[in-house]
Chains A and B, each alone.
Chain A
Amino acid sequence: MAFDWGPLFLTFKLAAMVTVILWVIGIPLAYWLAHSRVRWKTLVETLVSMPLVLPPSVLGFYLLLTFSPNSWFGSTLQRHLGIQLAFSFSGLVVASVIFSLPFMVHPIQAGFQSLPLALQEAAYVLGKSRRETLLRVQLPNIKPSLLSGTVLAFAHTIGEFGVVLMIGGDLPGTTRVASIAIFNEVEALNYSAANLYAMVLFGISFTILLTVYVLNKKLLGTL
């Protein structure tokens, strides 16, 4: 049987989409967590961090219940927007965004908090709005944190197994990502195929992390 590259392709498509979505959600969220002084911030912080300690099967189970067409949320989505999240690729994306959220938010939040407040104040006094200060002063000065957040979220999504299995099942071409394909091949005693998937994942993850560490050294050198 010819080797099926589909699961690997699907894995990287998923990781790329999740990372982009996490930029859009994660950066404002990290900014808010770093600067806000409202009391219920701690509650949000806890919720964001939950995927770090929760077994993926628990998270996957509850997400499956929520996404199911029998639930209020799932049926509403399906009826009004025609989106089915359970056992679909979009479901995988939503679940992975939630599951990888702390990996994007934590480094960026720490980055924001490590910046001296005076930099922000200097920009305000020089007449720059919050938005402009964020884009032109704060973000450029936390490049290493942005890089770690991006890479951790990306790599974590590639390595995802439990949540993906619970929410996506194992549908070839839609939700069968590489980590699940490995499991399947091993179950079928097809070790050489499993080995190929595993090696590709290993190689790519190693290359990504190595590039990041090299880049990070360069970035730190210029700051």
Chain B
Amino acid sequence: MIELVVEKSLKGVTGNYQLDVDLHLAAGEVVALFGASGAGKSTLLRMLAGLISPSRGYIKVDNVLWFDSAKQICLPPQKRQVGMVFQDYSLFPHLNVRDNLRFALVDKKDLKAVDAMLVLTGLENLQDRFPASLSGGQRQRVALARAMLRRPRVLLLDEPLSALDHAMRTQLQDEILALHRRFETTIILVSHDLAEVFKMAQRVCYLENGKIREDGSPLKVFSPQHLLGRWQVHAEVLAIVPLDMLWSVALLIGNQITRIVASTDEVQGLNPGDKVLLFQQAFHPMLIKIP
């Protein structure tokens, strides 16, 4: 059980805004934080890890106070027992894979745990390699293994897969889920990728300007209520080309590109790069822009 009730004023790209979040997580839950960059997602993770202090509020994990502004409690990151996977992996460049994992050991002699984790994450054959000679996916796997060795109460993943190609992403998503099932760790995942959120998380918190705007299952948060029950897919707009009185819109759905015909009303305010919801009405495909 994690309670995160925090406030802090933050500097964003468009000026100052107030981070004001009240989030309760059940043990073993996988929660995705979703939202535009600068919405405060990474800041929340860093507050949990103890790398930033909120100006007001409290953080309570398994009934232990990690932070309380009223009681002036603030555990340093060293005492919080979290696992964190950074965006740029942050492996130690001077240590090989094995020693990177050993670094995380709480009990320095527990080398069996390192061996077990190397096997579990398929890194046995890479254990003597240095981070500089690993691919992005392999580095990410090392970072994940290292974080898990700490036996964290909560695993914080800050856009862990954003730098990887599609195939590697899918594979690592499966591996994270496998680790989750095995250790039943609570996971908080920051992600920009809808497909990833749907696949990984049972719950998504949609952050906007430092506030949780919506909170619920991915299906509930990302699908407008009036469309429930209809056939619908998420897509990204690639191009909008005029077609006599209508428009041809090229869409990226998953890995595939498709073209549909849309009316002038539908393409109003749409730009390449926008996320849209594609659904069907009277046998005709329709588009709605989603934030």
Which residues of A line the B interface, CB within 8 A?
116, 118-119, 121-129, 136-137, 140-141, 222-223
Contacts and interface: CB of A to CB of B under 8 A. Distances in A.
A136 B100 CA distance: 11
Given A122-B84, A136-B103, A128 B90 contact: no
A140 to B, nearest CB: 5
Contacts of B79: 127
Contact of A125 (B84, B92, B132): B84
Contacts of B88: 116, 118
Contact of B132 (A124, A137, A140, A223): A223
Contacts of B103: 123, 126, 128, 136
Contacts of A125: 49-51, 77-78, 80, 82-84, 150
B86 A141 contact: no
Given A126-B103, A127-B150, A141 B77 contact: no
B93 interface: yes
Contacts, number: 58
Contacts of A123: 92, 103
B92 A121 contact: no
Residue among A116, A126, A129 with the most chain B CB within 10 A? Answer: A126
A121 B94 contact: no
B275 interface: no
Name B's interface SS: loop
Nearest to B82: A125
Interface string B25-59: 00000000000000000000000011100000000
Nearest to B86: A118
Nearest to A122: B90
Contact of A124 (B51, B92, B93, B104): B51
Contacts of A223: 93-94, 132
Given A119-B92, A141-B92, A223-B132, A124 B150 contact: no
Contacts of B51: 121, 124-125
Contacts of B116: none
Interface in B111-140: 130, 132
A124 B94 contact: no
B94 A126 contact: no
Interface string B136-162: 000000000010001000000000000
Contacts of B150: 125-127
Contacts of A118: 86, 88, 90
Residue among B81, B90, B132, B150 with the most chain A CB within 10 A? Answer: B90
A140 B106 CA distance: 21
B129 to A, nearest CB: 12
Given A126-B146, A127-B150, A121 B78 contact: no
B242 interface: no
B190 to A, nearest CB: 15
Given A137-B92, A223-B132, A122 B86 contact: yes
Nearest to A129: B78
Contact of B104 (A121, A126, A129): A126
A119 B90 contact: yes
A222 B77 CA distance: 30
Nearest to A223: B93
Residue among B51, B82, B106 with the most chain A CB within 10 A? Answer: B51
A136 B94 CA distance: 10
Given A116-B88, A118-B88, A141 B104 contact: no
A118 B86 CA distance: 8
Interface string B146-184: 100010000000000000000000000000000000000
